[in-house]
Structure 1
Amino acid sequence: MDKEVIDYLDLKNITITTAEAEPICGEYEQYTLIRFMLLSFASIIALAGMLGNAFLVMFFTTRKLPNTPPTLYPGVLAFLDWCMCVMYIALFGADAAVVYLNSKTLFLIYHAYVVPAFVVARITQLAIPYMLIFATLERYVWITSPLANRILKKMFSRRGRYITMLTTLAICVALRLPLGWSIIVYEFPDCPDFFRTKMANVAEWASESYMYHVYDFHILGVAQTFLPFVVLVVLNVMVVRKMIRVRSQSTAPSARMSISVEASTPFCTTPSPSECSGAKAELATNGFSSLLVPSYAYSRNASIATGQYDMGSISAGRPMSRKTDRAVRAAIYTMLGIVMSYLVSNSLHLVLTILERSGSPLLIDVEDPARASTFHTYFSDMVSFVYMFTSGARVLIYVMCNPTIRKDICRLLCDVFAKFHKAQLKQNAADGPTML
């Protein structure tokens, strides 16, 4: 039987045993002080990513107005990013703490939740690129006018968004759920080293099944890596070309016609006429500054109360200012940065998977075959960190591209500090009379 190891988020301590020589102890990895500090620092970044994505989830779910349907995909993506950061801490941060700190209690807890956590991580990995695809496609629909495709019209209607999102998540869960039966925790009761008595590893049936190997490596590899790669590249090229075309048309004298539309930004937090009119004025000069969470155009006869909206261009005939031009370029570059960071992480993941599936000697320590090589250790750490960082840093993308979210974050932080300062003043006032 060939030696195999599972790919990214592979729980690190895995091995395939042979029938001829049953190992006494499970495979292990060394945690030097430097590696422990690096993983601890990465876990702190993951914790910050958890807080940032939790704020984005709250932001997208609480800013519910009749004219803000585009917040669904960004909200789901923020939740998936939050899950990715949580799973990084649960799988990698906890593993480093178990080995380096020699905590027996944490060792037992870790192996109690490691399999379901691994399944959740892989479901999240599979779902994130498709939420990116739908968000990017929605962006393309937003700048396309008129939209003649009936499928896209239904797909990006208020009801169609929820159906598409729920169907996609259900498919991702169904595709990755068999992983829960292909990974088990092996016991090594005769091992003298307590921290090698348990090990998460591929089940025997999965390691011997050629069909499962084809399904897990080839089919899901295409579904998670190659297909999203091609679709995201094509969609972003289409978005860039469309934005260039809109820019050239909007600056041409023949295209400067008067269009009777009424628009509002997707994050007008107070529905008062005065503030919303100010939001409309801001959109008129900065209409493409929020490509990540786009706005929609409403005709004067549209009924906002019923959620009917036009998927057409909001400013096809409005000349762009230099400020808008800079916002367009920044938003496009940022979106391309998101996609490229995802593609880089997926490409690294693919390289690691190929090395592991082929049983490359680069992954095995020369002196101790039961221990992973230094190259395998740090390369897998880098892959997992890149995955986590692209999810944890998503809030920075929104802050850079969307001035409304940036202002809302600043307002939230100011409110928190103001409440803290007010509580301190009350505490000092209460303690004042008792002091001599």
Structure 2
Amino acid sequence: MSSSEMNSTMEPPTNSTEEQEIIYCDEDPVLRLYFVTVGTTIATFGCACNLLLLFVFLTKNRHQWSTYLIFLAILDFLLCFLYVTSFGLESAAKYFRIHFLYDLIRLTTTYQFTLSKVVQVCIPYVLIAISAERLAWIGKIIRMRNRGSHRGSLLVCVCIAVLWTALRAPGFHAIDIYVYENGECDYFESMPIVSTNLTANPQYIQYDLLINFFHLFVSFCVLFILNLLIVHRLRLSHQNARRNSSCPNVVLSATKQMVLNEEKKEHKRLRCAIKTTAVVISTYLACNSIHFALYMMEMFSSHILKSEDGGFNMFYVITSDVGTILFVLCSTIRLFIYYKYNPDVKSALKTIPFLPCFAGQVNRPKTSAYECTMPLQTDKESPSSV
């Protein structure tokens, strides 16, 4: 859920005796029900996909997989799960008029919203950690099979989770649930989400703007630059392989054939890295672009998002729903990105007997997921790619 997903968030109703109290019932337009239904379907499928990834990472050659990939699958699962519980179950409770479910969702709304913010901001920084690790390995700065490599990546994951949980914690106090108890609204519209006085504090506004700047802009720039450096280093490696293949000192046919084979492998590694970079960057940009645009409008031109009654207009509600669905979709398709560009995941999925869609003869590709980021060297140390 993005920060713009507080579609129904209103200023708390005034209780002043000098002016009439404004009633904001928690009404959802019918069109939004369709968007939530689509999003819930995608999120449910995403939960299954990421549980499948976790099954592969934790049971199929456990030490082969990077700790970052496992942590990323957990975050993707949580994001999809929180969408189902926050939006899907809430809509189901309203539509089927299930009192206890509606009460339960509203009781945990602030916790779910805060956790979703933490999960969202952790995902790009885990991708940054994966890219930085791969770049360092390509540059021969680290060796992935060294003792303590998993321990170090686990420490990084813990630091990311703890840091962004602490930085996002103040947002827990920025929203609350307002309860109408006098029958002004239908029971399933009587607990709207409202913003607290904290959101009007200038210091909190500046703090929230800074956090979102690092979340949306800085993380994307760093991820983009790191992946450009990876492609650049692989391109240099490819050029070196071509020069070696044309070197006049290479006179033995067997040696020359081996160098030519290395050149072909370098070309495959470069192409694999470019495709992986394009997919990672494009999906991340797509899911953040709407979020970033809406957040800027919230901060600097909020009047164009408001309707005459003081609530958010239909444009804002629908656009924020689309932005959130893109986030969920990005986490859902991660399995298929791995299946397409990571041959090790593809091979592991084909060995699972209860997955007929992935079943088939396991033929290990000539260029493995490791080789997609592997410079010319004789050892077999290699990280799992994104």
The separation in 1 between residues aligned to 2:180 and 2:50, in whole angstroms, is 39
Q: Which residue of 2 aligns with 1:262?
A: none
Provide the secondary structure at the position in 2 that maps to 1:201.
strand
From 188, 198, 202, the counterpart of 2:195: 202
The separation in 1 between residues aligned to 2:267 and 2:95, in whole angstroms, is 52
1:327 deviation in Å? 5.8
The separation in 2 between residues aligned to 1:158 and 1:60, in whole angstroms, is 13
Deviations 1:108-163 (CA, angstroms, capped at 9, x unpaired):
12101111111110000111110000011112122223x28x9x999983432222
Q: State the Cα RMSD in Å.
A: 3.2
Q: Which residue of 2 aligns with 1:325?
A: 267
1:317 deviation in Å? 10
Q: Are residue 84 (structure 1) and residue 79 (structure 2) matched?
A: yes
Q: Which residue of 2 aligns with 1:181?
A: 173
The separation in 2 between residues aligned to 1:65 and 1:360, in whole angstroms, is 49
Identity %: 23
Q: Are residue 48 (structure 1) and residue 45 (structure 2) matched?
A: yes
Is residue 250–residue 318 contact of structure 1 (8 Å, CA) maintained in 2? no
Q: Which residue of 2 aligns with 1:408?
A: 348
Q: Which residue of 2 aligns with 1:111?
A: 106
Give TM-score scaled by structure 2 length. Answer: 0.79
1:177 deviation in Å? 1.6
The separation in 1 between residues aligned to 2:85 and 2:334, in whole angstroms, is 20
CA change 1:122–1:235 in 2 (3 A) is same
Is residue 11–residue 194 contact of structure 2 (8 Å, CA) maintained in 1? yes
1:219 deviation in Å? 1.8
5+ unaligned residues in a row in structure 2: which ranges?
A: 251-257, 357-386
CA change 1:373–1:98 in 2 (3 A) is farther
Give TM-score scaled by structure 1 length. Answer: 0.71
Deviations 1:182-210 (CA, angstroms, capped at 9, x unpaired):
22211121224222321222222x12321
The separation in 2 between residues aligned to 1:155 and 1:207, in whole angstroms, is 47
Q: Which residue of 2 aligns with 1:221?
A: 212
The separation in 2 between residues aligned to 1:83 and 1:177, in whole angstroms, is 17
Is residue 87–residue 121 contact of structure 1 (8 Å, CA) maintained in 2? yes
1:71 deviation in Å? 1.4
From 49, 60, 81, the counterpart of 2:57: 60
The separation in 2 between residues aligned to 1:155 and 1:354, in whole angstroms, is 45
Q: Which residue of 2 aligns with 1:9?
A: 5
Provide the secondary structure at the position in 2 that maps to 1:184.
strand
Is residue 14–residue 26 contact of structure 1 (8 Å, CA) maintained in 2? no
Q: Are residue 351 (structure 1) and residue 293 (structure 2) matched?
A: yes
From 226, 231, 242, the counterpart of 1:240: 231
From 240, 244, 263, the counterpart of 1:249: 240
The separation in 2 between residues aligned to 1:27 and 1:237, in whole angstroms, is 49
Is residue 155–residue 164 contact of structure 1 (8 Å, CA) maintained in 2? no
CA change 1:411–1:224 in 2 (3 A) is same
5+ unaligned residues in a row in structure 1: which ranges?
A: 1-5, 259-314, 418-436
Counterpart AA for 1:345: C
Counterpart AA for 2:243: A
Is residue 276–residue 341 contact of structure 2 (8 Å, CA) maintained in 1? yes
Provide the secondary structure at the position in 2 that maps to 1:321.
helix
Q: Are residue 340 (structure 1) and residue 262 (structure 2) matched?
A: no
Q: Are residue 193 (structure 1) and residue 176 (structure 2) matched?
A: no
1:356 deviation in Å? 2.3
From 138, 153, 157, the counterpart of 1:161: 153
Larger RCO (CA under 8 A, 6+ residues apart)? 2
Q: Which residue of 2 aligns with 1:280?
A: none
Provide the secondary structure at the position in 2 that maps to 1:126.
helix
Is residue 7–residue 356 contact of structure 1 (8 Å, CA) maintained in 2? no
Is residue 13–residue 26 contact of structure 1 (8 Å, CA) maintained in 2? no
1:167 deviation in Å? 1.3
